[in-house]
A and B are shown apart, each in its own frame.
Chain A
Amino acid sequence: MTDDLALLRRFEPVVRFTEGEHFFPMSAESYVAACDLLGAGPGIAPAVIVPAGELTLDRLADTRPIPGEERYLRFVPRPMDGMELARWSRSSDRPHFRAPGRLARVGLFARLIDAGFTASLLVRGRVPGGTAAAAVRRYEAIRAQDPTVVYHGRVIRADGWIVLQYLYVYCMNDWRSSFFGANDHEADLEQAFVVLEQPEDPSRAAIPRWIGCAAHDYSGDDLRRRWDDPTLTFEGEHPVIFAGAGSHASYFEQGEYVTPVPLPAMRPVHRGLDGLRRFWRDVLRQDDPGDLAAKVEAALSIPFIDYARGDGLAVGPGGDVPWTPTVVDDKTAWIDGFRGLWGLDTRDRFAGERAPAGPKYTRSGTARQSWNDPLGFLGLDKLPPPGRTPDVLHDRIEALEAEQAATHAAADAMAVQIRRAAAALPHRNAVMVQASGPTAGELELQIVEDELARLRALSATLSDEQEAARAALAKSADGDLGPPRAHLRHSHRPQPPEEQRYGRIVEFWSAISAGVLLIVLVGSLWLDLLSLWAAPLVAIGGYLAIEAAFRRRLIDLWLRVTLALALVGAIIIGIAYLPVFLIAAVAGIALLAIVDNVRELRA
């Protein structure tokens, strides 16, 4: 346990928060002590089982729901009402946060969808208004008693790796209420991992190799960065991670992250848009429009920004506040014993507004991979520690050599067999074969020939694999680990600062444009100013022109409109003259065939 604590402390990450953040990692004990434990279920009205102040971690671990009942914690017993909320919002001692231009960074449809998303909260299960503000008050009271900022650390040793798992317990995620994000929920459990290589010689110190963080919509390889990744920041031996404001999602780089929440209906459209892109680029020989599917998906996603600016409180070595660690393991009772939710259960069917379950379990009570199998969670199951890679490659090469030798031997034996079989077959000419078909012997010979060809192809593949393994072995022996970011499939980088700067007029227009568009549309129809097809055309056209003018892209817009009109014109002509085009095409093919055949005759 002492060794574990020393390891955890040696590599504990520094977490930098955004100015305006309300909540910081706290001890599970303090959090649970401030919560009510409730039970509810189908036909069972929510009721307090253990009131706040009486609940302890041990009591939580011992709680057993009755059949059909679900248990959950509740941090905020009574959200602030409208008056209290207004007074709290105006109070000058609140942390300052300004986030201009969220909507200016995305297009019209995203703004409309954003409005729809906001409206959907009225009918979905959600954290009641005033909860986040009340949670801030409660958290401030707890922090006045216990100002420590806490992580719960766990050490796992497996397959030559040592995984240091850092769990951060927050009492509230107020991303939506305080930072224009996607959701709010009580309780927020975040985690970071530092992965060390355990040398085979126990007297040698462990070597840090990877850092991993749980992040929105990413999994496996994309969750980790190599220790020598140039985008990482360090404070001595301590990696620095940047927590999203309110969401507390962890990022490796400081900045603002556009986190689009894609609509599920977009997925089938992908293939069609890829086909359209190929047609435009390869058949029409026009400029490559880029990844259309990604662009359309981005335009039709709900645009949320996670602000991981790192300009607020820094917790950890070299920061404003030190960590207070608590070591946990598989036997820690509160982690193992309580399967309920760690905050208010809103019954939101999209789950975004439901509190999470504990570190070990998912909301449905099944094992959580990040606890159960952290190496697999980070995509490290397939990688040996670098010090053990040569042994693994040696074994692989030996196995490949053995397999190739066996394949060779089998192929040689088969070749002898084929020659003997072929020599024994009676000779038949083509006319006889055509008349009566192949004999059983000929068919058998063909099957064996196919098998021989397969064995020879396999032998060539095994040879290639050996070559690749030997090359990897040579690199490994030289200590060459390859490019540090080669494992990444999706590299989530912060938005460049130049894309975040917009004038006040653009920001104002972005804020009102979706509403204005809808009013113009409805108004022109209501007052009978435009017909049903003309109204949306004029409204959207006007919107696009104003938007492009604000962004100084009017010419670009018109060039795109020109191409769209050309495409429409091409379709109209294609339809109007389809028979003529077909006749011309057939005549062209016929002419080509005649010319080609006559040229052959002359040759």
Chain B
Amino acid sequence: MSDLPPTPIATTIDPARGRHVGRWPFGILVVAVLRLIDAFTLAAIGLGMRGVPGGGLPVIGDDLVLARSVDLLVAILTVAGVFGLLSFKRWGWVLTMVLVGVELAADLVLVATGQPDHLGLALLVVTAFYLNGSTIRAMAVASVEPGPPAQP
């Protein structure tokens, strides 16, 4: 299996600007949608909206203001990460991976305290492995390589 060439992606590198242009891989779109849903959920919890399914990130202590602030901050960073990811920026990939790690840690804390969210955990696991796949990683690295100067 490993000898097969990587799955072709419907993107190219713009030689003038040294970054990807064209369509996103389908998986990236799915990840982006999932991350945005996650961000909006966290933002809603952070803003204190009622009737939102799930809970925010487990924060040590009972400080509601701190908990909501952290949720809001993570929500904003998640949206920024999705933006960077869809722009094929390395920082977007790194930020998304870092946030996925933070949420994985939070979900594992929930598992340890007997309140597991298996669906959320499964989505984060799949997201982490997908983003770390060799094809997507190569794209993230390629996106920081400067392209040759544009031809007049």
**Cross-chain contact B108 with A573 (CB below 8 angstroms):** no
- Expressed in whole angstroms, the minimum distance between the Cβ of B84 and any Cβ of chain A is 14
**Cross-chain contact B98 with A562 (CB below 8 angstroms):** yes
**Cross-chain contact A562 with B97 (CB below 8 angstroms):** yes
Bound CA–CA A561/B103 (angstroms)? 12
Bound CA–CA A576/B108 (angstroms)? 13
**Cross-chain contact A566 with B108 (CB below 8 angstroms):** no
**Cross-chain contact A566 with B125 (CB below 8 angstroms):** yes
B9 contacts partner chain A, Cβ-Cβ < 8 Å: no
Q: Which residues of A contact B111 (CB under 8 A)?
A: 572
B26 contacts partner chain A, Cβ-Cβ < 8 Å: no
Q: Which residues of B contact A281 (CB under 8 A)?
A: 2
- Expressed in whole angstroms, the minimum distance between the Cβ of A525 and any Cβ of chain B is 20
Bound CA–CA A418/B52 (angstroms)? 84
**Cross-chain contact B104 with A569 (CB below 8 angstroms):** yes
Whether A569 touches B121, Cβ cut-off 8 Å, given contacts A285-B134, A555-B98, A558-B101, is yes
A563 contacts partner chain B, Cβ-Cβ < 8 Å: yes
Most buried by B among A282, A286, A561, A572: A572
Contact with A along B72-105 (1 / 0, CB 8 A): 0000000000000000000000100110110011
In this complex, what residue of A is CB-closest to B111? A572
Partner of A555, one of B94, B107, B108: B94
Whether A286 touches B98, Cβ cut-off 8 Å, given contacts A563-B128, A573-B122, is no
B146 contacts partner chain A, Cβ-Cβ < 8 Å: no
A568 contacts partner chain B, Cβ-Cβ < 8 Å: yes
Bound CA–CA A284/B1 (angstroms)? 11
Partner of A565, one of B105, B118, B137: B105
**Cross-chain contact A285 with B105 (CB below 8 angstroms):** no
A119 contacts partner chain B, Cβ-Cβ < 8 Å: no
Contact with A along B108-144 (1 / 0, CB 8 A): 1001000010100110110011001110010000000
Q: Which residues of A contact B100 (CB under 8 A)?
A: 562, 566
Q: Which residues of B contact A568 (CB under 8 A)?
A: 108
A287 contacts partner chain B, Cβ-Cβ < 8 Å: yes
Contact with B along A274-307 (1 / 0, CB 8 A): 0000000111111110000000000000000000
Q: Which residues of B contact A573 (CB under 8 A)?
A: 118, 121-122, 125
Bound CA–CA A576/B125 (angstroms)? 14
In this complex, what residue of B is CB-closest to A570? B125
**Cross-chain contact B137 with A559 (CB below 8 angstroms):** no
Whether A286 touches B134, Cβ cut-off 8 Å, given contacts A559-B101, A569-B104, A569-B108, is yes
Bound CA–CA A549/B34 (angstroms)? 31
A350 contacts partner chain B, Cβ-Cβ < 8 Å: no
Q: Which residues of B contact A284 (CB under 8 A)?
A: 129
In this complex, what residue of B is CB-closest to A568? B108
Q: Which residues of A contact B105 (CB under 8 A)?
A: 561, 565
Partner of A562, one of B101, B118, B137: B101
Bound CA–CA A558/B104 (angstroms)? 12
- Expressed in whole angstroms, the minimum distance between the Cβ of A541 and any Cβ of chain B is 11
- Expressed in whole angstroms, the minimum distance between the Cβ of A196 and any Cβ of chain B is 47
- Expressed in whole angstroms, the minimum distance between the Cβ of A556 and any Cβ of chain B is 10
Q: Which residues of B contact A286 (CB under 8 A)?
A: 129, 132-134
- Expressed in whole angstroms, the minimum distance between the Cβ of A302 and any Cβ of chain B is 33
- Expressed in whole angstroms, the minimum distance between the Cβ of A242 and any Cβ of chain B is 38
In this complex, what residue of B is CB-closest to A567? B125
Q: In chain A, residues 545-565, which have Cβ atoms closer than 8 Å to a Cβ of chain B?
A: 555, 558-559, 561-563, 565
**Cross-chain contact B116 with A576 (CB below 8 angstroms):** yes
Contact with B along A117-136 (1 / 0, CB 8 A): 00000000000000000000
Whether A287 touches B108, Cβ cut-off 8 Å, given contacts A562-B101, A566-B129, is no
Q: Which residues of A contact B2 (CB under 8 A)?
A: 281-282, 285
Partner of A558, one of B98, B121, B129, B137: B98
- Expressed in whole angstroms, the minimum distance between the Cβ of A323 and any Cβ of chain B is 54
- Expressed in whole angstroms, the minimum distance between the Cβ of B138 and any Cβ of chain A is 9
- Expressed in whole angstroms, the minimum distance between the Cβ of B128 and any Cβ of chain A is 4
Bound CA–CA A288/B116 (angstroms)? 31
**Cross-chain contact A563 with B132 (CB below 8 angstroms):** yes
Q: In chain A, residues 562-603, which have Cβ atoms closer than 8 Å to a Cβ of chain B?
A: 562-563, 565-566, 568-570, 572-573, 576-577
Bound CA–CA A573/B111 (angstroms)? 10
Q: Which residues of B contact A562 (CB under 8 A)?
A: 97-98, 100-101, 104, 128
Q: Which residues of B contact A283 (CB under 8 A)?
A: 1
Q: Which residues of B contact A288 (CB under 8 A)?
A: 134
Residues of chain A at the chain B interface (Cβ within 8 Å): 281-288, 555, 558-559, 561-563, 565-566, 568-570, 572-573, 576-577
For the complex of A and B, 7 pairs with smallest distance between CB atoms: A562-B101, A566-B128, A565-B104, A569-B125, A282-B2, A566-B125, A570-B125
A-B contact pairs, 26 of them (CB 8 A): A281-B2, A282-B2, A284-B129, A286-B129, A286-B132, A287-B132, A287-B137, A288-B134, A558-B101, A559-B101, A559-B132, A562-B98, A562-B100, A562-B101, A563-B132, A565-B104, A565-B128, A566-B124, A566-B129, A569-B122, A569-B125, A570-B125, A570-B129, A572-B111, A572-B116, A573-B118
Q: A566-B128, A572-B116 are in contact. List 6 more A-B contacts (CB 8 A).
A: A282-B1, A282-B2, A562-B104, A565-B104, A565-B105, A566-B125
